[in-house]
């Protein structure tokens, strides 16, 4: 899992998911920011 602030995200091997482990492990900080924006938008949409 990946901890970001107060949240913990499960990494996944599904490359369509925002926490795809390949992206998380190899991403630069600015890429991580994009991933989190996408994740937060997705989370809001699902609520």
Predicted confidence at residue 15, as pLDDT, reads 60
CB 1 within 8 A of CB 10: yes
How crowded is the C-beta side of 19, counted as CA atoms within 13 Å?
A: 14
Predicted confidence at residue 33, as pLDDT, reads 77
Predicted confidence at residue 43, as pLDDT, reads 87
Predicted confidence at residue 36, as pLDDT, reads 82
Predicted confidence at residue 11, as pLDDT, reads 60
Could you report the average pLDDT of every consecutive run of 10 residues in the chain (47 residues)?
A: 69 60 61 80 86
pTM of the model: 0.36
Q: Is 32 exposed, middle or buried (0-12, 13-18, 19+ CB in 10 A)?
A: middle
């Amino acid at each position: 899992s990946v901890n970001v602030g107060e949240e913990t995200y499960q990494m996944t091997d599904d490359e369509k998911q925002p926490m795809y482990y390949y992206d998380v492990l190899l991403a630069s900080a600015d890429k991580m920011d994009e991933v989190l924006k996408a994740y937060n938008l997705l989370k809001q949409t699902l609520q």
